[in-house]
Amino acid sequence: MEDLKKLMPKKLGFGCMRLPVVNGNTEEIDDAAFCRMIDAYIERGFLYFDTAYPYHNQKSEEAVRRCLVERYRRDQFFLADKMPVWLAKETADYQKLFDTQLARCGVEYFDFYLLHAMNRTRAAETEATGGFDFVQRMKTEGRIRHIGFSFHDSADALEEILKNHPEMEFVQLQINYYDWESENVQSRKCYEVAEKYGIPVIVMEPVKGGTLANMTGEPARILKELDGNVSYASYAIRYAASLPNVMLVLSGMSNEAQLMDNTSYMKDFVPLSGQEEAAISKVVEELSKMPTIACTKCRYCVAGCPKKIAIPEVFEDYNMTVQFGINETNRGSYARHTADAGKADDCIRCGKCEAQCPQHLQIRELLVKVSETFA
Ligand code: SF4
Ligand code: SF4
């Protein structure tokens, strides 16, 4: 199999899921700003763009066509797109979705194409409806150069997919230094499975949705002491890029400042030094000592809540504020988790959730804290 790592002159990919927008409207992409970002990115020698059907309420692919495809020769960039497998209810749907994506992007082929957001259940469904066969056929027909999948599940589930699908050439995983040893995300375990199967990794969420770009307290002091002139995000991106089986690290860049920062240290990428690695371990240790809510996300509490409060999710949002301070990222996350569900202050203190919680958390009292934090 071709060594995909050799195709990447630089290890930073441009994620097109948080593009600059006009008036805060996610569907109205700021083309002028996006064009300037693309120009600076390409001028600095980078070439990988990653979009997907649902990004920006289905407007990202068209923005990529306007700002990238119609302004650059096709051999000046790599374009990655993803099959929204959850929309393919029967085999014929794959072709319809794929043709829509080619048209939206204005291209004849994709350099990289992924089955989007796979997990154990979705892999079985995609198998049953012919999704794996479809992407292989598109590759044979020259519509896709390289096939892979993005993944959110346990390392065991990843191993099952890779065992059943040796045709997969790469996998996209959520890897960042905070989640490296996490039992939920299993970054390290998933990375090791990919390595075992000789499958290169594209990293998504290296900065944990922007979280690791914000530091307060002791973690901030540790990183500042290393070098006061570089961003916190730079350590997170370089951490992921330093892993030898990583072929690319995606960053969802939202403005020109982020792009200039990311490209400055990824242009001539230098892996983390021993001293930097030790500092990051210390940061993780400090973060784990902070007084967060010990929710294991088992979700036993959720079903019986009359106010439909997404208890584990809002606890996670609160934990992020404890570790990283209150900021736009965790405020946005809390807003999403309470958009179609109850807010922390909707709790009527019925206590049904606490009766279910194996961790014996005082959920009612904790929700008061959450509510005060995001008030
Ligand atoms: S105490 Fe609050 S959070 Fe718990 S079940 Fe009742 S309404 Fe929901
Ligand atoms: S039952 Fe307890 S530990 Fe489980 S998700 Fe709910 S609050 Fe978290």
Indicate whether 137 belongs to any domain.
yes
Position 289 in a domain: no
**Joined tokens for residue 193:** 């499975």
Tell me how far the alpha carbon of residue 348 lies from the centroid of ligand 2, in angstroms: 17
Q: Which two tokens stand for residue 172?
A: 């996209």
CA distance 110 to 113: 6
Q: Residue 370 Cα, ligand 1 centroid: separation in angstroms? A: 13
Q: Does residue 216 sit within a domain?
A: yes
Distance 340 CA to ligand 2 centre (A): 20
Do both 274 and 318 map to the same domain? no
Specify whether 26 is located in the same domain as 131: yes
Ligand 1 pocket residues where CB is under 6 Å: 304-307, 309, 311, 347-353, 363-364, 367
Q: Please indicate whether residue 301, judged by its CB atom, sits closer than 6 Å to ligand 2.
A: yes
Contact 163 CB / ligand 2 (< 6 Å): no
| pLDDT at residue 352, rounded to an integer | 96
| Shared domain check, 66 and 183 | yes
- Domain of residue 62, CATH code: 3.20.20.100
Return the C-alpha torsion angle 299, 303, 305, 311, nearest 10: 20
Whether residue 149 has pLDDT greater than 90: yes
Structural domain includes residue 290: no
> Is 293 close to ligand 2, i.e. is its CB under 6 Å away?
no
**Could you tell me what percent of the chain has a pLDDT over 70?**
100
Query: Ligand 2 within 6 A of 312 CB?
Result: yes
Q: Is 9 within a domain?
A: yes
Compute the distance from residue 100 Cα to the ligand 2 centre, in Å: 41
Q: Do residues 273 and 127 share a domain?
A: yes
Listed residues 243, 264, 281: the one ending a domain: 281
Read off the pLDDT of each residue in 241-246 and give the average, rounded to a whole number.
Answer: 97
120 and 221 within one domain: yes
| Residue of 343, 352, 356 with the most ligand 1 atoms within 8 Å of its CB, for mutation | 352
Please check whether residues 349 and 263 belong to one and the same domain: no
* Ligand lying closest to the C-alpha of residue 345: 1
Q: Which ligand is nearest to the CA of 318?
A: 2
d(Cα 177, Cα 213) in Å, to the nearest integer?
12
Alpha carbon of 321 to ligand 1 centroid (Å): 22
pLDDT digits (tens, 9 = 90+) for 202-229: 999 999 878 898 888 999 999 999 999 9
Q: How many CA atoms lie within 13 A of 322 on its CB side?
A: 18
Q: Are residues 84 and 162 in the same domain?
A: yes
SS3 category, 129: helix
CB 11, CB 266: distance < 8 Å:
yes
Q: For residue 293, tell me if it sits in a domain.
A: no
Is residue 61 scored above 90 in pLDDT? Answer: yes
Do 79 and 210 belong together in one domain?
A: yes
Provide the pLDDT for residue 49: 98
Scanning the chain, the segments in alpha helix (DSSP H) are 31-43, 55-58, 60-64, 91-105, 120-129, 131-140, 155-164, 187-196, 217-226, 232-241, 256-266, 274-289, 311-324, 328-337, 352-356, 363-373
Q: Same domain, yes or no, for 369 and 257?
A: no
pLDDT in tens, 108-126: 999 999 999 999 999 999 9
Q: Which residues pair with 173 in a beta bridge?
A: 203
Task: Give the pLDDT of residue 294.
Answer: 84
Name the pLDDT band for 190 (thresholds 50, 70, 90).
Answer: very high
pLDDT in tens, 267-285: 999 999 999 999 999 999 9
- In a shared domain, residues 125 and 255: yes
**Ligand nearest to C-alpha 297:** 2
Q: What is the mean pLDDT of residues 69-97?
A: 97
Together in a domain, 276 and 320: no
Q: Give the residue, by CA position, lying nearest to ligand 1 atom 4.
A: 353
Best probe residue, ligand 1, of 293, 300, 309, 371 (max atoms within 8 Å of C-beta):
309
Output the six-digit token pair for 364. 């009612």
User: Mean pLDDT in the chain?
Assistant: 95
Q: How many domains does the chain have?
A: 2
Is the CB of 362 inside a 6 Å radius of any atom of ligand 2? no
Q: What is the DSSP string of 46-94?
A: --EEE--TTHHHHTHHHHHIIIIITTS-GGG-EEEEEE-GGG--SHHHH
User: Does the pLDDT of residue 1 top 80, yes or no?
Assistant: no
Classify residue 301: in a domain, yes or no: no
In this structure, is residue 294 part of a structural domain?
no
Pairing of strands 170-174, 12-15: unpaired
Same domain assignment for residues 248 and 347: no
Distance 298 CA to ligand 2 centre (A): 5
CB neighbour class for 37 (10 Å; exposed up to 12, middle 13-18, buried from 19): buried
- Residue 3 pLDDT > 90: no
> pLDDT at position 295, please?
86
**Residue 184 has what pLDDT?**
76
Which range marks the domain in which residue 364 is found? 311-373
Ligand 2 pocket check for 352: Cβ under 6 Å: no
pLDDT on residue 191: 98
